[in-house]
Amino acid sequence: MNHNEQNIQDPLEHIIEKTWHLVPPFWPLSHLIAVNPLQSLEEEPFEEAVDRAQSLFEQKELPNLIRSLNRNNIKWMQSFFDRGQATFPMPLKHLGFYRSWRKLAAYDGTLHGHSAEKKAWIAALPEDAPTAIRHALSALGLLDPDHEKLIGAVILGFLGWSSYVKYLHREETTHGHAGHLLHDYLAVRLATLFLLHSKTCSVPDFPKRDVLIKKRSIAAIQDLERTYLADLLPKIRRKAPAQERPKPEAQFVFCIDVRSEPFRRTIEKHAAYETLGCAGFFGAPVAIRDAYGQHNACPAIITPDHQVGAQSPQPSSLFSWIKKAHHALKYNLTTPFVLPDLLFPFLTPWVFLSVLFPVHSHHLKERFSPKKLPVIRSVDTLPLDTQCTYAFQFLSLMGWVDGFAPLVVLCGHGSTTTNNPFASSLDCGACGGHAGGNNAQIMAMILNQPVVRAFLQQQGITVPETTCFVAAEHDTTTDEVFFFEKGCSEIVLERLRALRQDLMQTGADNAAFREQHLKRYAHAPLINAKKRSVDIAQVRPEWGLARNASLIIGPRWMTSHQSLEGRSFLHSYEPSLDPEGTQLHTIMTGPMIVAQWINAQYFFSTLNNVSYGAGNKITANLVGQFGVMQGNASDLMSGLPIQSVWRDDRTPYHETLRLVVLIHAPPERIHPIIAQDPGLQRLIRNAWVHLICLPVGGDEEPLWLNPELTWCPSTLFFQDT
């Protein structure tokens, strides 16, 4: 495009682009998706990137110039990006950030200080943001060489808000819009800077390159990784068990999520159940449309082509009327003064009950409005050939071509927490930060269609007629499993009843396992889990994906006999059925990348919770229904809160180690995949992940792919170079 060509030639645009490149996107609270806060630095070796990030993002000092700029900008950021908190919203939003700000700035005394000269300057600001950036820079009296420093300080000195802007820009551009936001934001910031300081006598020296920060010891991280891998490797079975296993009564497909691993292990103990793992969107990358709008139910690296309608649970009409009346009284200028008195007789016992007896009060509430999950009615919006492709890819990715049990449960996962700003970070990341029940329903529906089965038959996957796919959702907070059994035959329902008994026991066992790490209550783990999930005071409802450490790609028999302590992502893979390596390629460029994002998010939120995390939940202040500030007003706190990764204010719970990927496949199959993919190469070369190959057959020693991309014995991994 012409515009783009201009950009490349223009030095200022180049600087702007370069600076924005450093900023990671930050997803809103409605669907928090894990990202590597050092995303842009993945081009550099890990060690250098961490150092560089330290000087870019973790500096203790910020020039006063930028501080006062931030102080003024927070209110405009809050107001413009608000998603519906304010009853009286900021006017003129439809003009875009820069233009609406330009209009309103004329009335803002804190900007122009009522000086006629400055008011005139605001009035004379150009219409479009890119021109305004130049205008402001020249008004600030800066020479070209100083531009880079100033723009760096302006964007990186307000990292949280910049990250959110980056996310919105990303959304805009993936939907095919031009995306003005990055320039709008910069224009507002620079114009504010001029209004507050007129000519800057000195360009802010930020981020200082040469500042002395205590260098982080990579050795400590390496030690953790080595200890972990030394412990893990012997646990992994290298040869398929000799004895023939009984035919499974039922099979379960779980998300690769680390929380699935202990649950799978517990289920397998109960009866002849078999479990498999794949990314939790179950090969159905769709957008879900429901009563509240539309969202992508797939990993952030995929843009869905199709959408499916979901029937969102409707609150009972009595509830919705009460809510309507309540809101009508609340959000206006006069009747809120009656509200406390009106609610007094009901609220007083409720406050007492809900805080002191969370479980009982929850049951009481459930009686009036029971929790329901969204239901997918049909997948007709997906063309038949798409359905066939989804189904085929889904099964073949796991190397699943035969041996289907009469009952196959596709078990997505979601979480139930209350009063938790970061609730969606506990949901399924592979479903775009939403619960996975919808995707499970879609794939189960597709796989139950005779047409699809016929297609699969042609492709060599024989699903017996007696096999029925059923969708389910595992609640990772309460360890309950909910089945979507609508439309199931009587025989299937009969089987589900038996299954449910075992799942209850599984839930209790798994809750007991998790309780060891939550370390507060020793007895009745299921009730404790429930209590954590419904308690408005609870800041650690569950540990989420904390302590995640490895991704194991291979058949289940490798790991089924050992506890991996809920630290491993497990993806099923059958090397003998994938000679070309196409499935492995999909796994390594999809789930593996997502796992690395999650790992990096937990890693850096633990490493420095102030710079990369969201800080403490107890002082969090929700802004605009999309983010969290700390206290009165602050930078937007991107990342995970301290309570998600630290046991208390002093001891981390998550271990800062990089993802170890273990692949059960011949090394000569893995190598070309990496050689062809620059993204994967970057991760391995720069040691953002460690890759271990477990050669098929089990006789050869594990191999480590070193940063030079050559295979060497895994023992070298444990030695200092």
Partner 1 sequence: MNLSFLLSIDHISIMMLGLIALVAVVVRSYAIRHLEGNGHYRMFFANSWMLASSIGLFAMANHVILFWGAWLSANYFLIQLLAHKKKWKAAQSAAFLTQSYLLVGSLFLGAALALLWFSSGSLYIDQILNHPHNTPSFLWALVFLMLAAMVQSAIIPFHGWLLSSLNAPTPVSALMHAGLVNGGGFLLVRFSPLLLQQPYFLNALFVVGMVTVCVASVWHLVQTDIKRMLACSTIAQMGFMLVQCGMGLFSAALAHVVCHGIFKSYLFLSSTNLALEKKTDLPVMHQLDALVLALLSVGVSYPVFCFFADLPVLPNDTQVLVLFMGLLSAFQVSMALLQTGSPYRMLFAVVGSLFCVSVYGGLFFLFETVLLPHHFSAPQPLSLLHVSGLLVLSVLWFFSRHVRTLLRRQHPPEWLQRVYVASLNASQPFATTRTTYRNDYDFS
Question: Of the two residues 150 and 659, which places its CB atom closer to partner 1 in the complex?
Answer: 150
Cis previous bond, 207, omega within 30: yes
Structure tokens of 210? 């040469």
Closest C-alpha to 709, from 689, 667, 681, 669? 681
Closest C-alpha to 35, from 428, 300, 285? 300
- Smallest distance, partner 1 to C-beta of residue 196, A: 12
Task: Give the angle 236-259-564 at the CA atoms, nearest 5°.
Answer: 20
138 burial (CB, 10 Å; 0-12 / 13-18 / 19+) is exposed
Question: Of the two residues 144 and 648, which places its CB atom closer to partner 1 in the complex?
Answer: 648
Question: Of the two residues 228 and 350, which places its CB atom closer to partner 1 in the complex?
Answer: 350
- Smallest distance, partner 1 to C-beta of residue 615, A: 5
- Smallest distance, partner 1 to C-beta of residue 344, A: 4
Residues 6+ positions from 481 with CB-CB distance below 8 Å: 411, 472, 473, 474, 475, 500, 503, 506, 507
DSSP H helices, 157-297, are: 159-174, 181-197, 218-232, 260-270
Question: Of the two residues 219 and 333, which places its CB atom closer to partner 1 in the complex?
Answer: 333
- Smallest distance, partner 1 to C-beta of residue 428, A: 19
Closest C-alpha to 189, from 24, 57, 70, 13? 70
Rg (CA), the chain: 27
Estimate the crossing angle of helix 490-518 against helix 525-534, to 10 degrees.
Answer: 80
- Smallest distance, partner 1 to C-beta of residue 321, A: 6
Question: Of the two residues 152 and 421, which places its CB atom closer to partner 1 in the complex?
Answer: 421
- Smallest distance, partner 1 to C-beta of residue 178, A: 21
Contact by Cβ (8 Å): 477, 494: no
CA pseudo-torsion sign 296, 298, 302, 307: negative
Distance separating alpha carbons of residues 26 and 161, to the nearest angstrom: 9
- Smallest distance, partner 1 to C-beta of residue 504, A: 26
- Smallest distance, partner 1 to C-beta of residue 182, A: 20
Distance separating alpha carbons of residues 37 and 25, to the nearest angstrom: 8
Contact by Cβ (8 Å): 156, 57: yes
Question: Of the two residues 74 and 693, which places its CB atom closer to partner 1 in the complex?
Answer: 74
Structure tokens of 509? 């066992």
- Smallest distance, partner 1 to C-beta of residue 475, A: 18
Question: Of the two residues 98 and 400, which places its CB atom closer to partner 1 in the complex?
Answer: 98
Query: If you search the block for the tokens 């402001």, which residue do you land on?
Result: 136
Closest C-alpha to 448, from 403, 396, 502, 492? 492
Estimate the crossing angle of helix 97-105 against helix 181-197, to 10 degrees.
Answer: 30
Question: Of the two residues 421 and 544, which places its CB atom closer to partner 1 in the complex?
Answer: 421
List residues bridging with 663 in a β-sheet: 553, 693
Query: If you search the block for the tokens 């809160």, which residue do you land on?
Result: 641
List residues bridging with 691 in a β-sheet: 661, 705
Question: Of the two residues 23 and 496, which places its CB atom closer to partner 1 in the complex?
Answer: 23
Q: How many residues in total does the chain contain? A: 721
Distance separating alpha carbons of residues 343 and 327, to the nearest angstrom: 13
Question: Of the two residues 68 and 393, which places its CB atom closer to partner 1 in the complex?
Answer: 68
How many Cα atoms occupy the beta-carbon half-sphere of 209 within 13 Å? 2
Query: If you search the block for the tokens 């996107």, which residue do you land on?
Result: 25
Question: Of the two residues 244 and 649, which places its CB atom closer to partner 1 in the complex?
Answer: 649
- Smallest distance, partner 1 to C-beta of residue 298, A: 23
- Smallest distance, partner 1 to C-beta of residue 337, A: 4
DSSP character string of 478-496: TTEEEEE-TT--HHHHHHH
- Smallest distance, partner 1 to C-beta of residue 117, A: 19
Question: Of the two residues 282 and 653, which places its CB atom closer to partner 1 in the complex?
Answer: 653
Question: Of the two residues 340 and 450, which places its CB atom closer to partner 1 in the complex?
Answer: 340
- Smallest distance, partner 1 to C-beta of residue 46, A: 22
- Smallest distance, partner 1 to C-beta of residue 112, A: 11
Closest C-alpha to 162, from 673, 586, 637? 637
Question: Of the two residues 86 and 272, which places its CB atom closer to partner 1 in the complex?
Answer: 86
Question: Of the two residues 596 and 611, which places its CB atom closer to partner 1 in the complex?
Answer: 611
Question: Of the two residues 622 and 675, which places its CB atom closer to partner 1 in the complex?
Answer: 622
- Smallest distance, partner 1 to C-beta of residue 70, A: 4
Contact by Cβ (8 Å): 719, 228: no
Question: Of the two residues 230 and 522, which places its CB atom closer to partner 1 in the complex?
Answer: 522
Query: If you search the block for the tokens 């990348």, which residue do you land on?
Result: 593
- Smallest distance, partner 1 to C-beta of residue 657, A: 22
Distance separating alpha carbons of residues 555 and 575, to the nearest angstrom: 9
Residues 6+ positions from 33 with CB-CB distance below 8 Å: 27, 300, 429, 432, 433, 597
The CB density around residue 713, as the number of other CB atoms within 10 Å, is 12
Residues 6+ positions from 617 with CB-CB distance below 8 Å: 421, 422, 539, 641, 642, 643
Distance separating alpha carbons of residues 638 and 645, to the nearest angstrom: 14
What is the rounded end-to-end Cα distance, in angstroms, of the chain?
A: 47
- Smallest distance, partner 1 to C-beta of residue 589, A: 33
419, amino acid identity:
N
Structure tokens of 483? 């089945």
